[in-house]
């Protein structure tokens, strides 16, 4: 670690080397562009660029953007500049593969959106990587997956969707309004819009005859639904999927995901005009439906990838799950905490909570509770309808 | 100025910065980029801006962010009362509409708010945008324009371009994730709780007359306290308050009086649960270890 990397004689020079270092960081999940490489070179002209310690500090200020980056930077720096040889991937800790998978799923999401067809293969491969990492778990998981393969069209009828759509529209409307903090010109406003008053008074010789008012406009909330379709949820999936489908059709600003052992974005598939065809496309995406559940890992993946783009302070994240997790429950808590950092509201609807005498004893659920804004039972469409009042209050 | 001389210069002003922070400040100064400082509350993020303004001998302009912060409070506002009076006066003097309009939308009637103020100074000031994560996304987006172009457009007046580029320091303590776009425009330094030696140096720099034994005990105690399971860990400011309290009470040894120690914990522990959890015995144990 201590020796400085010897670069080959044909190496084109420091600029190229720095660009290669940026690419190395990028491969490991840092979000860096050409601008940072340029800035890095500019920075190195400002400091003693032959002193490794100085360079390390300088590049850290430029290349990192959050605490996680800072924690990983030293190892990546050592791997590139200080290993006494060429770049050795093996000296990079296991984060490399984790972030690769973050990277690829983000790309997949991009492709997903532009092509509008969904990319079932990419999440598939990442799912297997996770399974492989578990060691012997892989064979079992894939066997279970094959057996449990179900056609969602058997489960959800188009009539249900129509009904759910009406309901989703009402619920969506209940969630819609969060008042903006900024006032805008409005006839029935509660404050005087001075700027406007002055402008208009000019035409009447300085007499403010007409008082312009402003008020805080209502801003729509976005709803992001995460629906658990693991084995334990099969009986409720019918209701929930119809609900999600209805929600997607009622409001174009919503977004939806399925998860079981991995996370799949279903927003594009569900927006298909033909309800039945939408479900057909969904079945393809939801390969592995009815298998085990990894809620923690799926939510973490969501928080690290999609949430960065789609979740902000005006978003409600709706999780439909029973909370029976095969993962480490701590992971679920951490994932929700990360998600809450995006400043969103998190609602968890749990079908099991409807049972008499239910206590959230599933360890995952216990970890999740402190991070939830609302935790309610729901296993029929009627239950969902009853939520309307609660959502208005949120 | 190299980054090590900057580090010593900051130390002379009473701010002990670690190598990473000093380098980040140095690069921010020499490359003219905004600097984003992130870290827990009470580790001295805001203080960096104050020290920097003293060091440069320039003004410190501070913008405290909050949810709903808008252009009228952050950038500029017209002085409406003066405008109204002036229009009335003009109509009595028989001034024409156009010349009134030109007059009341001139710079005389403009109220500068921190961001506009910062870019209109002749000498580059230090602009501190404090707790940016409290503002909402809209403001963050607005800030992007100012931070990259250093100009403000006022419809009635036209575009005002910076006479000098202010030194911009942004602070955040992670209540909300900042957008990637904003992060990318800034240099970044994470400020964490200092090492023992650094914190001791801070204490000596701020409380010159403190005795070495007590100083060592205080630092040991506070550092041990941070390892306990607390809701709100004591920051550097709290540590300095604690030291000041002990000196004011004339304590020379932390272990000498448990009652006084327990009472002076009010400067370190700021929530009810924390006060409750750190019992007299725990405090004594920590103090004993620190001694």
Q: Is B80 found in the same domain as B53?
A: no
Stretch A342-367: mean pLDDT, rounded?
Answer: 74
Q: Is B215 found in the same domain as B98?
A: no
Helix/strand/coil for B222: helix
Helix/strand/coil for A157: coil
Q: How many structural domains does chain B have?
A: 3
* Predicted complex ipTM: 0.82
Mean pLDDT rounded to a whole number for chain A: 73
Q: Is B182 found in the same domain as B50?
A: yes
pLDDT for A394 = 65
Q: Judging by DSSP bridges, how do beta strands A184-185 and A191-192 pair with one another? A: unpaired
Confidence check: pLDDT of A121 > 50? no
pLDDT for A96 = 38
β-strand partners of A267: none
Predicted confidence band of residue A212 (pLDDT cuts 50, 70, 90): confident
Contacting B with CB below 8 Å, chain A residues are: 31, 33, 35-36, 39, 42-43, 46-48, 53-54, 57-58, 60-62, 64-67, 69-70, 181-182, 194-195, 197-198, 201-203, 205-206, 208, 308, 312-313, 341-343
Q: How many CA atoms lie within 13 A of B184 on its CB side?
A: 14
Q: Is B283 found in the same domain as B244?
A: yes
Per the CB < 8 A criterion, the answer to whether B87 and B100 are in contact is: yes
Residue A361 backbone dihedrals phi, psi, to 5 degrees = -85, -20
Q: Judging by DSSP bridges, how do beta strands A374-377 and A345-350 pair with one another? A: parallel
Residues of A in contact with B67 (CB under 8 A): 181
For the entire predicted model, the pTM comes to: 0.72
Q: Is B39 found in the same domain as B122?
A: yes
Q: Is B101 found in the same domain as B80?
A: yes
Per the CB < 8 A criterion, the answer to whether A296 and A335 are in contact is: yes
Q: Is B277 found in the same domain as B137?
A: no
Predicted confidence band of residue A141 (pLDDT cuts 50, 70, 90): very low
B155, B190, B225: which is the final residue of a domain? B190
Confidence check: pLDDT of A149 > 50? no
Q: Is B205 found in the same domain as B61?
A: no
Per the CB < 8 A criterion, the answer to whether A229 and A261 are in contact is: no
> Which residues 6+ apart lie within 8 Å of B137 measured at CB?
A312, A313, B179
Residues of A in contact with B78 (CB under 8 A): 194-195, 198
Q: Is B61 found in the same domain as B154?
A: yes
End-to-end CA distance of chain A: 54
Smallest CA–CA separation between A42 and chain B, in Å?
8
CA–CA dist A372, A337 (Å, integer):
9
CA–CA dist A358, B233 (Å, integer):
37
User: Per the structure block, which two tokens stand in for A374?
Assistant: 């609302």
β-strand partners of A256: A225
A281 to each of A204, A234, A254, B78, how far by Cα in Å?
Answer: 63, 18, 18, 56
Q: Is B30 found in the same domain as B133?
A: yes
pLDDT for A203 = 77
Smallest CA–CA separation between B69 and chain A, in Å?
8
Out of A23-37, A136-150, B31-45, pick the least confident.
A136-150
Phi-psi region of B199 (alpha: psi -120 to 50; beta: other; left: phi over 0): alpha
Stretch A298-309: mean pLDDT, rounded?
Answer: 84
Confidence check: pLDDT of A392 > 60? yes
Confidence check: pLDDT of A111 > 50? no
Stretch A71-99: mean pLDDT, rounded?
Answer: 62
Q: Is B234 found in the same domain as B90?
A: no
Stretch A14-22: mean pLDDT, rounded?
Answer: 89
Q: Is B250 found in the same domain as B143?
A: no
Q: Which CATH class is domain A141-173+219-393?
A: alpha beta
Q: A361 or B165, which is more confident? A: B165
User: Can you give the pLDDT of all 291 residues of chain B as single tens digits?
Assistant: 788 999 999 998 888 888 899 999 999 999 989 999 998 888 889 999 999 999 999 999 999 998 878 878 899 989 988 888 888 888 788 777 778 888 888 888 999 999 999 988 899 999 999 999 888 878 888 888 888 888 888 888 888 888 888 999 999 987 777 888 888 889 999 998 988 988 998 898 888 888 888 899 999 999 999 988 887 889 998 999 999 998 888 888 888 888 888 888 989 998 888 888 888 888 888 888 876
Task: Provide the Cα torsion B169, B173, B174, B176; round to 10°.
Answer: -70
B148, B175, B190: which is the final residue of a domain? B190
- Residue-number span of the structural domain to which B262 is assigned: 196-290
pLDDT for A155 = 58
Question: What confidence tens digit (pLDDT) does each residue in A217-251 have?
Answer: 877 778 888 888 877 777 777 777 778 877 777 77
Confidence check: pLDDT of A113 > 60? no
Stretch A247-266: mean pLDDT, rounded?
Answer: 80
A77 to each of A38, A111, B72, B231, how far by Cα in Å?
Answer: 18, 31, 44, 34
B132, B167, B190: which is the final residue of a domain? B190
A72 to each of A66, A251, A253, B124, how far by Cα in Å?
Answer: 10, 41, 36, 35
Stretch A100-123: mean pLDDT, rounded?
Answer: 39
β-strand partners of B130: B64
Is the Cβ of B97 closer than 8 Å to some Cβ of chain A? yes
> Interhelix angle for A52-63 vs A34-46, to 10°?
140
Q: For chain A, how long is the longest CA-to-CA vector?
A: 85
With CA atoms as reference, the chain A residue closest to B77 would be A195
Out of A22-36, A270-284, B56-70, pick the least confident.
A270-284
A321 to each of A262, A270, A328, A350, how far by Cα in Å?
Answer: 14, 19, 16, 5
């Amino acid at each position: 670690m201590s020796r400085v990397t010897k670069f080959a004689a044909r190496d084109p020079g420091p600029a190229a080397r720095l660009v290669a270092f940026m690419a190395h960081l990028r491969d490991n999940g840092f979000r860096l562009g050409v601008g940072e490489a340029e800035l890095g070179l500019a920075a190195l002209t400002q400091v003693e660029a032959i002193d490794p310690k100085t360079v390390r500090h300088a590049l850290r200020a430029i290349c990192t953007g959050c605490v996680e980056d800072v924690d990983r930077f030293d190892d990546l720096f050592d791997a590139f500049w200080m290993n006494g040889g060429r770049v050795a991937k093996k000296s990079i800790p296991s984060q490399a593969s984790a972030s690769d998978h973050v990277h690829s799923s983000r790309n997949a999401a991009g492709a997903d959106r532009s092509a509008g067809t969904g990319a079932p293969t990419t999440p598939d491969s990442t799912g297997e990587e996770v399974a492989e990492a578990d060691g012997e778990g892989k064979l079992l998981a894939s066997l279970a997956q094959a057996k449990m393969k179900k056609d969602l069209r058997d489960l959800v009828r188009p009539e249900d969707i129509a009904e759910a759509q009406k309901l989703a529209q009402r619920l969506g409307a209940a969630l819609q309004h969060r008042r903006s903090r900024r006032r805008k010109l409005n006839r029935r406003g509660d404050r005087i819009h001075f700027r406007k008053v002055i402008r208009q008074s000019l035409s009447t010789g300085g007499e403010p005859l007409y008082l312009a008012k402003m008020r805080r406009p209502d801003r729509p909330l976005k709803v992001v639904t995460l629906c658990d379709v693991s084995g334990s949820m099969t009986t409720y999936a019918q209701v929930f999927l119809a609900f999600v489908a209805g929600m997607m059709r009622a409001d174009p600003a919503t977004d939806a995901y399925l998860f079981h052992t991995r996370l799949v974005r279903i927003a594009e598939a569900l927006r298909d005009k033909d309800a039945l065809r939408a479900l057909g496309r969904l079945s393809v995406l939801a390969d592995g439906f009815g298998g085990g559940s990894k809620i923690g890992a799926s939510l973490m993946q969501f928080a690290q990838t999609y949430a960065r783009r789609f979740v902000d302070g005006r978003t409600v994240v709706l999780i439909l799950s029973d909370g029976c997790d095969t993962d480490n429950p701590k992971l679920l808590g951490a994932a929700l905490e990360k998600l809450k950092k995006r400043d969103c509201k998190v609602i968890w609807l749990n079908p099991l909570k409807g049972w008499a005498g239910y206590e959230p004893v599933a360890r995952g659920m216990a970890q999740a509770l402190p991070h939830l804004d609302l935790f309610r039972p729901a296993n029929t469409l009627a239950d969902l309808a009853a939520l309307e009042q609660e959502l208005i209050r949120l | 100025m190299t980054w090590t001389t900057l580090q010593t210069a900051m130390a002379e002003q009473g701010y002990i910065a670690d190598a990473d922070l000093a380098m980040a400040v140095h690069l921010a100064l020499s490359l003219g980029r905004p600097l984003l400082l992130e870290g827990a509350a009470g580790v001295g993020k805001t203080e960096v801006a104050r020290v920097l303004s003293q060091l440069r001998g320039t003004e410190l302009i501070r913008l405290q962010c909050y949810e709903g912060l808008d252009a009228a409070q952050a950038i500029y506002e017209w002085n409406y009362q003066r405008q109204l009076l002036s229009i009335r006066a003009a109509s009595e003097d028989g001034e024409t509409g156009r010349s009134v309009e030109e007059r009341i939308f001139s710079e005389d009637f403009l109220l500068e708010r921190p961001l506009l103020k910062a870019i209109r100074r002749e000498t580059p000031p230090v602009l501190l945008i404090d707790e940016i994560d409290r503002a909402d996304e809209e403001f963050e987006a607005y800030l992007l324009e100012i931070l990259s172009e250093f100009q403000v457009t006022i419809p009635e007046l036209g575009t005002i371009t910076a006479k000098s580029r202010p030194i911009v320091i942004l602070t955040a303590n992670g209540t909300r994730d900042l957008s990637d776009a904003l992060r990318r425009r800034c240099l970044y330094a994470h400020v964490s709780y200092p090492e023992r030696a650094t914190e001791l140096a801070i204490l000596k720099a701020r409380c010159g007359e403190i005795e070495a034994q007590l100083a060592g005990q205080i630092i040991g105690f506070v550092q041990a306290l941070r390892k306990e399971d607390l809701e709100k860990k004591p920051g550097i400011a709290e540590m300095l308050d604690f030291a000041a309290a002990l000196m004011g009470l004339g304590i020379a040894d932390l272990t000498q009086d448990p009652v006084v120690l327990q009472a002076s914990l009010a400067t370190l522990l700021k929530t009810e649960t924390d006060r409750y959890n750190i019992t007299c015995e725990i405090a004594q144990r920590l103090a004993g270890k620190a001694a």
